[in-house]
Structure 1
């Protein structure tokens, strides 16, 4: 493989740790504002869910806009970003082997890219927290492309940056329809990490470190 692309959430990033970070943030915010933390968390989840459900097709919807909507629904008017960033930085965790795989591939000289539906700033902040941001040659986000996976534009944009041909590029993803089918339709090789099985899966990974043997 000439290029290896990773999704962030669910692949490099442990998704469960994100939920814990949001729970901590809402609890800290509730304490500062004198709110019931359980009710506030329910409102937070409802508003975020509604924000993303209103998306049409593969259009991009900013997570930050969803956070602002949920904050407004809680009746909070003030600076919340430092508290949110602190909760994320101190709570999110990489999946087992993720940092090792990125560092090893980078040391081998492999082209490394990200293809993720995250907001650009949030994606970079996550990679920076794991101290691997500088290991990536390119980062392609839905905020940049204005589309989400499996829209072909996401994969085409990433491939254009890498200058590699699809059949010599590997996509590592955790969602079958978005990551695996989307990449396969773009002509890429695929590695499923936690994704459902299906005809678009070329390789299944029980551990991210298995990527090192593939490439």
Structure 2
């Protein structure tokens, strides 16, 4: 952990569960499945279709070999076929999916303003996330913060998922920053916290289970600013 002088050089963010509110992802998937069911005019209830969607997506990721990357895009394609009972070309379902995502996804409280404030400093602001690259960038663009990040490291780029040390080492190399000068903000202990701590980064748990590898546990993402010694943006007075 860094000392109280706050000599930090980089702050890395997970996307799902940290920048992105995972409850809004569930709502978006439910809305998308409901739209597909309505379009196909099937006899299946939306509730049953949602359950089959979740099962298909879950099975796709459970088939992962260790920390090997598996594409969410492939999981969704598989799940669409499952709920419709036929092979639906991606160019038919993808525009609907992206529209629903853009309309429904929401950032966690304090995420956008904290990223924007950090981007005004000399700190390297990066992403380390187990997402498909295109999907991750699209989420950041939806929230208007894509250009606030100096680097984006995804599992698709690396071919592995957290806690594989290659995820964190790739991001640190991109930032040209040693692990001792970097923080990782994550919401999953076994992946984000354990993995980043194992390479020597400072681990910040946001909604993650507590454990011996946690350096900081926060309930509000704006607390990151005080950890790295950055003053919040001052509100303009009337």
Q: Same fold (TM over 0.5)?
A: yes
Task: Give the distance between the partners of 1:105 and 1:116, measured in 2 at CA.
Answer: 18
- Check the 8 A contact 2:9/2:122 in 1, yes or no: no
- Partner residue, 1:15: 22
Moved more, 100-109 or 31-40: 31-40
Q: Which has the higher helix share?
A: 1
SS in 2 for 1:57: coil
- Partner residue, 2:206: 193
Moved more, 105-114 or 6-15: 105-114
SS in 2 for 1:80: helix
SS in 2 for 1:208: coil
Cα RMSD for the two superposed structures: 0.8
- Partner residue, 2:9: 2
Task: Give the distance between the partners of 1:57 and 1:99, measured in 2 at CA.
Answer: 32
Unaligned runs of 5+ in 1: none
Moved more, 77-86 or 134-143: 77-86
* Offset at residue 109 of structure 1 (A): 2.9
* Partner residue of 2:33 out of 11, 26, 29: 26
- Partner residue, 2:72: 63
- Partner residue, 1:81: 94
Unaligned runs of 5+ in 2: 1-7, 229-238
> Which 4+ residue blocks in structure 1 deviate beyond 4 angstroms?
none
Q: What's the TM-score once normalised by structure 2's chain length? A: 0.89
- Partner residue, 2:55: 46
- Number of aligned pairs? 215
* Partner residue of 1:102 out of 115, 119, 123: 115
Map Cα deviations across residues 111-136 of structure 1 (whole Å, 9 max, x no partner). Answer: 10000000000000000000000000
SS in 2 for 1:43: helix
The structure having more radius of gyration, on CA atoms, is 2
Task: Give the distance between the partners of 2:219 and 2:76, measured in 1 at CA.
Answer: 33
